Structure 1
Amino acid sequence: MAADMDEFWVFGYGSLMWNPGFRFEEKWTARAFGYRRSLCVHSWVHRGTERRPGLVLGLDHGGSCIGTAFRVASAEKADVLDYLRERELVTRVYKERTMPVQLADGRRMPALAYVIDRNHVQYAGALTAAEAAATVAVAVGKSGPNSEYVLNTLAHLREMGIRDHWLEEVATSLNAGAAASAQVQIR
């Protein structure tokens, strides 16, 4: 089934999946090909600072990513675009792209998504789970601790039936670090 060219879809791969912040007509599990979910963005505002950056999710090149596609009513498109640009383009670390996504029912739709700009100073690159956990463990921004963001993201992904093995490794490292820190404080 071909997509109606007037339809406007948004693809979420992180907090947008459970906290879109805009009205939508339909919501589907969807897959974007050629990109993967990654803690590859140094957060200078919400989950860290420039002096002690945290890590937040971005769509980075390679693999595929299961997320959520939202169909937005035509009358809402301009307002949703304004909202998303204000939310996602704060420091211009993301590039706004339209990419094909495959919905759970097999349909392919063009969807708006925010992809990491690998040339941006906030691009963290490929990190090991241990490196990511070490950064996340100590970062705090205006929206709270970075660890809270990672663990909340993982919990929501699990609720949605989405496995992200690398993010699970980061959480395991985070939890191991917290347990070791607690042991040191007890002694």
Structure 2
Amino acid sequence: NEPLWLFGYGSLIWKPEIEHVEERVALLRGWHRSFCMKMTRWRGTKESPGLMMALDRGGQCKGVAFRIGDGNRRAQLDKILRREVTLKPTSYHPR
């Protein structure tokens, strides 16, 4: 019954694509943006992976917290997971 907040950084800030009832500037402690995600599709090969920005342990990251409305939480989470977790196998680990 508690509010559900989604932390956005990068493209989620300017294109969240979820219905939300509130947004606030937020600071995520313990994580920072870094070119730490190795990509072998679209940005590189297995022999020479490309890098994509993601969150890595340590430091802090400024972003936006989006509060998802109580009535459609599941639909909004499904929408964001379909958008963000598209690689198979996925490199993302939602928390």
Q: TM-score, normalised by structure 1?
A: 0.45
1:67 Cα offset (Å): 0.6
Instruction: Please give the alpha-carbon distance, in whole angstroms, between the structure 1 residues aligned to 2:73 and 2:79.
Output: 10
The code of the aligned residue for 2:45 comes to E
Query: Structure 1 stretches (4+) deviating beyond 3 angstroms?
Result: 49-54
From 72, 84, 91, the equivalent of 1:76 is 72
From 58, 64, 86, the equivalent of 1:62 is 58
Q: How does 1:17-32 map to 2 (within 5 A)?
A: 17-32=13-28
Q: How does 1:1-187 map to 2 (within 5 A)?
A: 5-45=1-41, 47-50=42-45, 53-91=49-87, 92-97=90-95
The code of the aligned residue for 1:20 comes to P
Instruction: Please give the alpha-carbon distance, in whole angstroms, between the structure 2 residues aligned to 1:54 and 1:22.
Output: 29
Report the aligned-residue RMSD: 1.8
Q: TM-score, normalised by structure 2?
A: 0.83
Q: How many residues align?
A: 92
Structure 1 segments unaligned to the other structure (5+ residues): 98-187
* Higher CA-based Rg: 1
Q: Whose relative contact order is higher, 1 or 2, with alpha carbons under 8 Å and at least 6 apart?
A: 2
1:54 Cα offset (Å): 3.4
| Structure with the higher fraction of residues in helix conformation | 1
